[in-house]
Chains A and B, each alone.
Chain A
């Protein structure tokens, strides 16, 4: 992948770093996060690969993946990262960039089995996946 950091890419990286208060350049691509993540099987791309895209400012590439929506903020990656990067916050930053455009990733009005679901689940899901 050719490294292209124009103004648009820089703006995206800056926004991610601003929202997460983390430095994306600290990542050494060791893969510990991906190794511990319980949800990798359902992700289009590994968390560590998403990181690479962020570093390169590949906004469009990232937004095509489902990784940040499969992330459940379980925090396993953040507690294990050898560089002490709070990866969960980086994932949240990418989600927020999408959601703050008044976007919903889940259909609020048509939740199946809402009759049975504990309120915790509905509140948590809407917090993470609606704008």
Chain B
């Protein structure tokens, strides 16, 4: 029988109160270990939904840091607080009326606060996805919808950028609008997709689909096991 390894414990502070938690946990699981139950500020646990923004300080480090609770490992002396919500109201708009070629100030019109950007880069420093947030805000101010859309592609809308911005900009809503406009009006349309949709609507796959619907469970399982996903 092997020896049981001694679990290393570290200290973290949650809203000022000290807890001992095992080293190697994420902030989220460490809080749960300490007895907290997440009813808000918790989502996919996989770094994709942006629900768990966390603000913290590290031991002997003056900087205020931001990250996702589910993706960040706890460290000894971490001083934490969760942000279950970021108050940033999204503007209402009808995408059908947002053609950028008719209005080169379209992003400025819906998010005028971007004109207050002072290029401090605090947003970029706050981003858990390491996006170039300041650059996409600048692109939006310049009227470059495409660049704003491309730079913000991996945004998970956690809101940490907007919490710290001295100009009160709503970066993630701005970026979402840019991506929508880009997709609707500027991005090259896929001919292959249009063609395939036509084929489907004309019934090219109806027969095969019907066969699957009528199949019994055993045959389905067998078919699944034997599937060939290479080209054929």
Contacts and interface: CB of A to CB of B under 8 A. Distances in A.
A and B touch in the complex (CB under 8 A): yes
Interface of A: 108-109, 111, 114-117, 119, 122-123, 126-127, 130
B103 A109 contact: no
A23 B116 CA distance: 30
Contact of A119 (B103, B106, B108, B113): B108
B149 interface: no
A119 B109 contact: no
Interface in B97-119: 103, 105-106, 108-109, 112-113, 115-116
B141 interface: yes
A18 B106 CA distance: 40
Contact of A122 (B106, B112, B142, B143): B112
Contacts of B108: 114, 119, 122
25 contacts: A108-B112, A108-B113, A111-B112, A114-B105, A114-B108, A114-B109, A114-B112, A115-B103, A115-B105, A115-B106, A116-B105, A117-B105, A119-B105, A119-B108, A119-B115, A119-B141, A119-B142, A119-B143, A122-B112, A122-B115, A123-B115, A123-B116, A126-B112, A127-B116, A130-B116
Contacts of B112: 108-109, 111, 114, 122, 126
B141 A108 contact: no
A59 B95 CA distance: 49
B177 to A, nearest CB: 15
Interface of B: 103, 105-106, 108-109, 112-113, 115-116, 141-143
B88 to A, nearest CB: 13
Given A114-B109, A122-B108, A122-B112, 11 more contacts: A108-B113, A108-B116, A109-B112, A114-B105, A116-B105, A119-B108, A119-B141, A119-B142, A123-B141, A126-B115, A127-B116
A111 B113 CA distance: 11
Contacts of A111: 112
A114 to B, nearest CB: 5
A117 B141 CA distance: 12
A42 B81 CA distance: 51
A109 B10 CA distance: 47
A28 B116 CA distance: 37
Contacts of A130: 116
A126 B105 contact: no
A88 B109 CA distance: 30
Nearest to B102: A115
Contacts of B105: 114-117, 119
A66 B105 CA distance: 30
A90 B106 CA distance: 36
Nearest to B118: A127
List the 7 shortest-distance A-B pairs measured between CB atoms, nearest first.
Answer: A122-B115, A123-B115, A126-B116, A126-B115, A114-B109, A115-B103, A115-B105
A119 B144 CA distance: 13
Nearest to A123: B115
A99 to B, nearest CB: 12
